[in-house]
């Protein structure tokens, strides 16, 4: 430990050990702090991590402190991943291996597919976009919610501008519906409201706060426009009476996060990238401080460059390489989704400004998906378990409070709710760096909101890092940025529908009553470059089961089509990959077992 590190440890001992956590051991190496030991509560683990991260001189926090209260730990039962789940044979070597098929991994894969490189992306699940990406709100933030000067803000502002072109190339819908930041009678903290005369608090809400937000945007290059009350009510007639004024952010938009990720993966495959699903990384092979390859549960791949885009598991993958400089503490976010017959109830995304703001999350809001389903949320809950994607009763209540901006909204139009885990670090900024200890290993970690909006800029940045650390990149002339989408029957005109059915009669068989999805679309999804092999994979591609009946009608039909197209018995169809079987056997099979 160098002198500087000793100073850090001393400071931290004062802050942590002497403040009620005597069992926490602290060490530091080149500004990377390592914490070990045991405390009572998970919330204390989090507190300790933040205390360390905020200390001067600390570059990264590895927080391995455990808590006594950990309630549940997800366990992975060993399941077979062969058969339909082996979508490609695993190559023996590659120039670059990307670990993780979320939006970040897939964006990097597509970015690298522009060059003459052998790129392999490894994904442990049976589809891309299965973890944080699929539970993401899909919001393409403008950057106004981020602290000035962070990497997050810089990449968010840049990435937001890149989204139109990428979405056009990939043929995925992107709606810039804009965000209204709403300042209400509850924006100022109750304590402040109590002591200030109302004309002063009104002045703060009407003039000062919008001006501060506007200035912050101007500094970061984010277009914003203050909105007076009359205009606010015109823009959003259903908004609460407690709304005072607003600030409009026109560059804010929405995509489907899984759709863009699947499109990126397909386009990458089109341009030569290999995506191996159901392939779990077990070790990163390192020799003499250099990356040599990746050991997976399906064999070894030699490679000199490995990109860690493992999201919630990025710290574990970094540890395998001996290149861990951070900890990921999962922060759960749940979202409630409502029926699209509420489309048009709001015209823009809405976010109520409540001061003081939570430093670690922008908090929940109200937004509308591309198809018009209102969404409320997400909330933000620190959890100890990287597999805990449950939505609790308390969370449902909290999210319903997001809707206080729309007092007359029909909550009974709720369709479903879901949760995902943000891959938060204690530094609360993106961690995108080549490892100094392990040559060829690049961490792309701590990517939480606004990760989706930043993803195009992150991919570009990673390309730059790879070049800096010695990867030779020569452009491919034949690179094709255009990805053809599966035709969406429900969006077509009558004439287009007629034409499509004539070309392929399967488009005349509507199998989903809520979203009007046809058999043609499902069959297409199953035979795409990145095949959909599960009910959920089909759902993410064509929306079967996303409507108000939640698969009650289409579920059996989708399962049957999957069995037919994959040439497997119906009872082997799964919801989302090995271990998630829909059935336990054919009828009479349990009786036969008993006998």
Partner 1 sequence: MIEVDVAIIGGGPAGLASAMKACEEGVKDILIIERGMELGGILLQCIHDGFGTFIFEETLTGPEYAQRYIDEVKKTGINVKLNTMVLEIDSAKRIIAVNQEDGLLEIEAKAIILSMGCRERTRAQILIPGDRPSGIYTAGVAQRYINIEGVIPGKKVVILGSGDIGMIMARRFTLEGAEVEGVYEVMSNPGGLTRNVVQCVEDYEIPLHLSHTITNIRGRRRVEGVTVAKVDSEMRPIKDTERFVPCDTVILSVGLIPENELSKSADVGMDPITNGPIVDEQMQTSVPGIFACGNVVHVHDLVDDVSKVAEVAGKGAAGYIDGKLKKRRSPIKVRAGRNVKYVVPQIIHGEKFDEDIRFYLRVKEIEKSVKTVVLADGERIFEKKIKIVKPPEMVKLDISPDILNRITGDELIIDVEGEEDEEKP
Catalytic residues: 141
> Mask: binding to partner 1, 81-120, rule CB under 8 A, as x and -?
----------------------------------------
Find the binder of partner 1 among 215, 467, 513, 527 (CB under 8 A). Answer: 513
Place of tokens 């054919």: 586
Q: Is 148 exposed, middle or buried (0-12, 13-18, 19+ CB in 10 A)?
A: exposed
Q: Which stretch binds partner 1 (CB under 8 A): 1-9, 169-177, 356-364, 547-555?
A: 547-555
Comparing CB distances to partner 1, the nearer of 47 and 413 is 413
**Candidate list 124, 389, 422, 540; residue touching partner 1; CB under 8 A:** 389
Helix (H) or strand (E) holding 132: helix 132-135
> What are 382's strand-pairing partners?
331
149 lies in the site for partner 1, by CB under 8 A: no
Query: Looking at beta carbons only, is 132 or 514 nearer to partner 1?
Result: 514
Interface with partner 1 (CB under 8 A), residue from 30, 234, 341, 401: 341
- Quick one: which of 506, 528, 529, 568 contacts partner 1 (CB under 8 A)? 506
Q: Which is nearer to partner 1, 468 or 594 (CB)?
A: 594
Q: Which is nearer to partner 1, 36 or 580 (CB)?
A: 580
d(CA 174, CA 254) in angstroms, rounded, equals: 6
Beta strand segments in 231-298, E: 243-249, 253-254, 274-276, 281-287, 290-296
Residue 552 within binding range of partner 1, rule CB under 8 A: yes
Beta bridge partners of 119: 96
For the bound state, the minimum distance from the C-beta of residue 555 to partner 1, rounded and expressed in Å, comes to 6
408: contact with partner 1 by CB under 8 A:
no
Smaller CB separation from partner 1, 441 or 507: 507
Contact 346, 236 (CB under 8 A): yes
Residues 417-446 contacting partner 1, CB under 8 A: 417-418
Q: Is 590 in the site for partner 1 (CB under 8 A)?
A: yes
Alpha-carbon distance of 179 to 351, in angstroms, equals 7
Cα(48)–Cα(43) distance, integer angstroms: 9
Strands of the sheet with 281-287, listed across from one edge = 281-287, 290-296, 299-302
Q: Output 79 or 439, the one with its CB closest to partner 1.
A: 79
Q: Does 387 bind partner 1 (CB under 8 A)?
A: yes
If one asks whether residue 390 binds partner 1 (CB under 8 A), the answer comes out as yes
Please check whether residue 379 is in contact with residue 364, taking contact to mean a CB–CB distance below 8 angstroms.
Answer: yes
Stretch in the footprint of partner 1 (CB under 8 A) among 4-12, 42-50, 71-79, 362-370: 71-79
Q: Could you say which of 508, 528, 529, 568 contacts partner 1 (CB under 8 A)?
A: 508
Of 127, 428, 565, 576, the one binding partner 1 by CB under 8 A: 576
555 binds partner 1 (CB under 8 A): yes
Residue 393 CB, nearest approach to partner 1 (Å) = 5
d(CA 12, CA 2): 15
Cα(63)–Cα(41) distance, rounded to whole angstroms?
14
Shortest distance, CB of residue 173 to partner 1, whole angstroms?
Answer: 21
Label each residue of 484-514 as H, E or C: CCCCCHHHCCHHHHHHHHHHCHHHHCEEECC
Comparison of 437 and 581: residue with beta carbon closer to partner 1 = 581
Find out whether 296 and 279 touch, Cβ atoms under 8 Å. yes
Q: Are 359 and 378 in contact (CB under 8 A)?
A: no
Class of residue 338 by CB neighbours under 10 A (exposed 0-12, middle 13-18, buried 19+): buried
**Torsion, Cα of 581, 582, 584, 587 (10° steps):** -150
Stretch touching partner 1 by CB under 8 A, among 204-212, 301-309, 356-364, 577-585: 577-585
Question: Could you tell me the end-to-end alpha-carbon distance of the chain, in angstroms, rounded to an integer?
Answer: 68
295: contact with partner 1 by CB under 8 A: no
Residue given tokens 């938060």 in the structure block: 424
- Stretch of residues binding partner 1 (CB under 8 A), selected from 30-38, 223-231, 413-421, 466-474: 413-421
Q: Which of 196, 396, 473, 568 binds partner 1 (CB under 8 A)?
A: 396
Minimal distance, residue 560 CB to partner 1, in Å: 7
Residues 476-505 that bind partner 1 (CB under 8 A): 494, 497-498, 501-502, 505
Task: Work out which of 37, 297, 560, 568 binds partner 1, going by CB under 8 A.
Answer: 560
Q: Is residue 357 a contact residue for partner 1 (CB under 8 A)?
A: no
CA 293 from centre of chain:
27
- Pinpoint the alpha helices (H) of 469-578: 494-503, 519-526, 535-542, 554-566
Contact stretch for partner 1 (CB under 8 A) within 167-175, 191-199, 241-249, 566-574: 566-574
Q: How many residues in the chain?
A: 595
219-226 long-range contacts, Cβ below 8 Å, gap at least 24?
A: 219/148, 220/143, 220/144, 220/148, 220/153, 220/157, 221/157, 222/142, 222/143, 222/144, 222/157, 222/249, 222/251, 223/142, 223/249, 223/250, 223/251, 224/142, 224/144, 224/248, 224/249, 225/250
Say whether residue 415 binds partner 1 (CB under 8 A). yes
Q: To the nearest whole angstrom, how small is the minimum distance from the Cβ of residue 362 to partner 1? A: 24
Q: How far apart are CA 265 and CA 268, in angstroms?
A: 5
Write the CB contacts of 503 (distance below 8 Å, at least 6 apart in sequence).
Answer: none
Q: In this complex, which beta carbon is closest to partner 1, that of residue 62 or of residue 419?
A: 419
192, 285, 549, 568: which one binds partner 1 (CB under 8 A): 549
C-beta separation of 87 from 107 below 8 A: no
- Of 479 and 553, nearer to partner 1 (C-beta) is 553
The stretch among 1-9, 57-65, 310-318, 416-424 that binds partner 1 (CB under 8 A) is: 416-424
Residue 3 lies near partner 1 (rule: CB under 8 A): no
Q: Is 509 in the site for partner 1 (CB under 8 A)?
A: yes
| Candidates 144-152, 311-319, 426-434, 553-561; binding stretch for partner 1 (CB under 8 A) | 553-561
Calpha distance 32→563 (Å, rounded): 51
Q: Is 391 in the site for partner 1 (CB under 8 A)?
A: yes
* Contact call for residue 579 and partner 1 (CB under 8 A): yes
Q: Which residues bind partner 1 (CB under 8 A)?
A: 74-77, 341, 387, 389-393, 395-396, 412, 414-418, 494, 497-498, 501-502, 505-506, 508-510, 513-514, 516, 548-553, 555-556, 559-560, 570-571, 574-591, 593-594
């Amino acid at each position: 430990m160098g002198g500087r590190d000793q100073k850090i440890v001393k400071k931290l001992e004062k802050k942590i050990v002497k403040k009620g956590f005597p069992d926490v051991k602290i060490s530091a190496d080149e500004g990377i702090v390592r914490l070990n030991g045991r405390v009572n509560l998970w919330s204390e683990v989090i507190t300790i991590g933040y205390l360390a991260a905020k200390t001067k001189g600390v570059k990264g926090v590895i927080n391995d402190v455990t808590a006594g209260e950990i309630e549940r730990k997800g366990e992975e039962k060993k399941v077979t991943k062969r058969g339909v789940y082996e979508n490609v044979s695993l190559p023996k070597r590659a120039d670059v291996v990307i670990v993780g098929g979320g939006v970040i991994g897939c964006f990097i894969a597509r970015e690298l597919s522009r060059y003459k490189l052998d790129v392999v992306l490894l994904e442990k699940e049976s589809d891309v976009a299965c973890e944080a990406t699929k539970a993401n709100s899909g919001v393409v933030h403008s950057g106004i919610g981020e602290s000035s000067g962070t990497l997050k803000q810089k990449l968010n502002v840049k990435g937001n501008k890149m989204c139109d072109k990428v979405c056009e190339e990939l043929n995925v819908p992107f709606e810039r519906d804009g965000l209204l930041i709403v300042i209400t009678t509850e924006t100022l903290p109750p304590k402040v409201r109590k002591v200030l005369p109302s004309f002063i608090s009104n002045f703060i809400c009407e003039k000062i706060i919008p001006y501060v937000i506007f200035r912050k945007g101007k500094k970061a290059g984010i277009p914003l426009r203050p909105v007076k009350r009359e205009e606010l009510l015109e823009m959003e007639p259903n908004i609460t009476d407690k709304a005072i004024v607003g600030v409009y952010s026109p560059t804010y938009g929405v995509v489907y996060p899984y759709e863009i990720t699947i499109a990126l993966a397909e386009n990458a495959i089109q341009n030569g990238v290999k995506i191996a699903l159901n392939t779990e990384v077990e070790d990163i092979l390192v020799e003499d401080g250099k990356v040599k390859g990746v050991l997976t549960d399906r064999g070894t791949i030699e490679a000199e460059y490995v990109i860690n885009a493992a999201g919630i598991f990025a710290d574990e993958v970094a540890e395998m390489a001996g290149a861990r400089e951070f900890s990921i503490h999962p922060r759960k976010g749940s979202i409630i989704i409502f029926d699209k017959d509420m489309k048009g109830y709001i015209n823009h995304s809405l976010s109520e400004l409540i001061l003081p703001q939570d430093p670690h999350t922008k908090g929940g809001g109200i937004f509308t998906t591309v198809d018009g389903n209102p969404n409320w949320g997400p909330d933000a809950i620190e959890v100890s378990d990287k597999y805990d994607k449950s939505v609790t009763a308390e969370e449902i209540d909290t999210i319903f409070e997001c809707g206080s901006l729309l007092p007359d909204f029909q909550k009974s139009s709720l369709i479903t709710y879901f949760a995902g885990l943000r891959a938060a670090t204690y530094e609360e900024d993106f961690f995108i760096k080549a490892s100094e200890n392990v040559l060829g290993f690049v961490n792309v970690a701590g990517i939480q909101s606004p990760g989706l909006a930043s993803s195009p800029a992150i991919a570009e940045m990673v390309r730059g890092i790879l070049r800096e650390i010695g990867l030779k990149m020569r452009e491919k002339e034949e690179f094709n940025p255009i990805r053809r989408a599966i035709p969406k029957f429900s969006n077509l005109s009558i004439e287009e529908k007629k034409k499509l059915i004539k070309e392929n009669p399967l488009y005349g068989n509507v199998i989903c009553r809520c979203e009007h999805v046809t058999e043609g679309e499902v069959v297409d999804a199953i035979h795409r470059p990145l095949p959909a092999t599960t009910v959920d994979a089909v759902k993410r591609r064509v929306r079967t089961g996303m409507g108000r009946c939640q698969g009650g009608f289409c579920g059996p039909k989708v399962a049957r089509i999957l069995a037919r197209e994959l040439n497997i018995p119906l009872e082997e169809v799964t919801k989302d990959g090995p271990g998630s079987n829909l059935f336990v056997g054919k009828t009479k099979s349990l009786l036969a077992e008993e006998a």
